[in-house]
């Protein structure tokens, strides 16, 4: 048996106590940590750091919120200002679409006259028709983007309002409810259907075109792989329907977007907000995908 006052090299990683000449413990060395323990410590530190960053970000966002608004009325005014701006852009976009549809109608009529006369349709006329259809589809892509922005404004407002009330006065939070969207605002955008791949999109497009044809009150003006247009409404009670297939910027998916057009007149505006028009929009998803379904 051998005695020594230092640990053997092969035992250095083990925990041990240092004892004085009088037998008193003067220091304790913990055992070396296992790889599993070290990994667990690193993960705990990562989570702790992430939680701290999240707290700092929330604190900064709270300060911005409190500096930006003095009251709930200020928040509602700011929200409504953003919505009004979107509404103006949507009105302009829809007016442009109506003009584009009239132009497309003229091109289609010219092509039909040539066909009835037994004459060939010039390539320039065909190109014009294709360009007009693409322009209309692109315009609906912009409209869809703004409709999604509208939905995001309501979502953000509800979240900001709840946090604002929590910061200002928790008692007030029980007395004030977030403002609801006005009638006709579809938070889920029921008249838009997303599809993830070209095969699914083709199948849904076929169903969507059948849905439009079954409900259209005006004859079909044009029907292609990316846009279906019924003739523009002529009377105050007429409803025109447009179906656009808007490709994703990335991937093979797309969004199928259904829109209603009415004659630009006071009575025509009423027609566009009528129960019949709303039923066409609200029933689009269920009619194409199925109740509760998705692309």
Q: pLDDT tens digits for 249-282?
A: 777 899 999 998 888 788 878 888 889 889 999 8
The whole-model pTM stands at 0.65
Helix axes 35-68, 123-168, angle to 10 degrees: 90
Helices (H), the chain: 35-68, 72-116, 123-168, 170-173, 198-215, 266-272, 275-282, 284-288
Cα 245 to chain centroid, rounded:
16
Contact 229, 222 (CB under 8 A): yes
Q: Rounded CA gap, 188 and 293, in Å?
A: 13
Residues 222 and 133: their CA atoms lie apart, in Å, by 8
Separation CA 141–CA 99 (nearest Å): 17
26 exposure class (CB count in 10 Å sphere: 0-12, 13-18, 19+) = exposed
Q: Could you tell me if 244 and 150 are in contact, meaning their C-beta atoms sit under 8 angstroms apart?
A: no
The whole-number pLDDT of residue 187 equals 45
Q: How confident is the model at residue 26 (pLDDT cuts 50, 70, 90)?
A: low
Q: How many residues are there in the chain?
A: 295
Quick check: 239 and 263 in contact, CB under 8 A? no
In this structure, are residues 94 and 112 in contact, taking their beta carbons and an 8 Å threshold? Answer: no
Evaluate if residue 227 carries a pLDDT over 50: yes
CATH 3.50.50 holds for 192-288: no
- Asked if residues 274 and 253 have their Cβ atoms less than 8 Å apart, the reply is no
| Domain-wise residue ranges, the chain | 72-173, 192-288
Residue with more model confidence, 83 or 187: 83
């Amino acid at each position: 048996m051998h005695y020594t006052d230092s640990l053997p090299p092969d035992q250095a990683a083990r925990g041990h106590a240092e004892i004085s000449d009088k037998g008193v413990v003067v220091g304790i060395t913990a055992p070396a940590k296992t790889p599993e323990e070290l990994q667990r410590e690193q993960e705990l530190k990562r989570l702790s750091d992430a939680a701290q960053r999240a707290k700092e970000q929330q604190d900064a966002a709270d300060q911005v919120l409190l500096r930006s608004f003095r009251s709930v009325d200020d928040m509602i005014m700011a929200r409504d200002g953003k919505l009004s701006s979107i509404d103006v852009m949507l009105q302009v976009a829809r007016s442009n679409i109506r003009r584009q549809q009239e132009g497309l109608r003229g091109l289609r009529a010219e092509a039909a006259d040539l066909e009835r006369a037994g004459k060939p349709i010039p390539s320039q006329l065909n190109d014009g028709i294709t360009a007009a259809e693409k322009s209309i589809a692109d315009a609906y892509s912009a409209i869809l983007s703004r409709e999604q922005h509208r939905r995001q404004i309501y979502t953000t407002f509800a979240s900001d309002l709840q946090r604002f009330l929590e910061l200002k006065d928790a008692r007030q939070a029980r007395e004030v409810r977030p403002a609801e969207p006005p009638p006709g605002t579809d938070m889920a955008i029921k008249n838009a259907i997303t599809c993830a791949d070209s095969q699914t999109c083709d199948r849904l497009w076929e169903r969507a075109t059948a849905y439009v044809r079954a409900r259209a009150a005006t004859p079909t003006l044009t029907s292609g792989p990316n846009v279906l247009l019924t003739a523009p409404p002529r009377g105050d009670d007429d409803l025109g329907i447009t179906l656009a297939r808007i490709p994703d910027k990335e991937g093979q998916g797309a969004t199928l977007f259904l829109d209603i057009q009415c004659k630009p007149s006071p009575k025509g505006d009423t027609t566009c907000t009528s129960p019949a028009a709303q039923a066409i929009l609200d029933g689009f998803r269920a009619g194409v995908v199925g109740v509760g379904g998705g692309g």
